[in-house]
Structure 1
């Protein structure tokens, strides 16, 4: 079992982290750098967040494009890892691409949440709503 345990643990951690990120953002539990942000008004926070999330959306869109390309390649050519175990790479790449897609959807949801707040409609995170 020592031939596959390290690689399997790495694949499991990729899934854990890449799928945990969107869930964390959905609940509003993501870590923020709080040098000045904490003292801002909620309206100013929403305005700044709505601008910065645009950069995140662009980054995630580029990352998703690369993930789809890499996953398609792995499936099409039967890509395998360069280890003794030689597992197929498409499952972990598919999970990573799916996680990037979920993070992109969540970033878009955050953008709409901030824009609605700036228009006077308050939309709460799931944790605040008690769901």
Structure 2
């Protein structure tokens, strides 16, 4: 069981490390979009796509960078008490609170799946069966949802990125849960 947990930790941490290291350069993409927005508004006709594309880029940056942030321990914590605790007490507290985070992420993931199904033209009540039907050919994509802005981009790509980010965050939280269990058992991670 311990070797299975350690294998899961190694695999998930490696995946999120690689994705996080790539996504962290998304800030430069965002800067490029915002610089182009400033230049086009000053010297040319303003670009319609820049503000919304900057928002989409920032969402991808935060959502896909979140698991990497948790892995590094750079997420926000209330260190008023936590910082002074022993490693064992921190592991117990993290073990307890990670269950709340996993529940919250499951709710967010289901909401992201529902929202993505809606953006692909599904108006039913079971988005999981819709995606299963897309794979097996039992469902078809309907009228695609678009933004209400003047640019009117399709919304399913960014919503799909949100699903991926929430799923990776969930996997990383399970990895952190396993790390806490191993710490409590005195195992080296």
The reply to whether TM is greater than 0.5 is: yes
Q: Any residues of structure 2 matched to 1:1-131 within 5 Å, and which?
A: 2-76=47-121, 77-123=143-189
Higher relative contact order (Cα pairs below 8 Å, separated by 6+ residues):
1
SS class of match (2:181): helix
Q: Let me know the Cα RMSD of the aligned residues.
A: 1.0
TM-score under structure 2 normalisation?
Answer: 0.63
Give CA-to-partner distance per residue, 1:17-49, whole Å, 9 cap, x none. Answer: 111111111222223220011111100000000
Give CA-to-partner distance per residue, 1:97-118, whole Å, 9 cap, x none. Answer: 1101111110111011001111
Would you identify which runs of 4 or more consecutive aligned residues in structure 1 move more than 4 Å? none
Work out which of the two has the higher radius of gyration on C-alpha atoms and give 1 or 2.
2
**Within 1, Cα distance between the matches of 2:64 and 2:188?**
27
**Within 2, Cα distance between the matches of 1:119 and 1:75?**
46
**Within 2, Cα distance between the matches of 1:41 and 1:4?**
50
- Structure 1 residue 122, shift from structure 2 partner: 2.5
- Structure 1 residue 120, shift from structure 2 partner: 1.2
- Structure-2 residue corresponding to 1:129: none
**Within 1, Cα distance between the matches of 2:96 and 2:83?**
17
Deviates most, 69-78 or 12-21: 69-78
TM-score under structure 1 normalisation?
Answer: 0.90
Return 5+ residue gaps in structure 2 as ranges. 1-45, 122-142
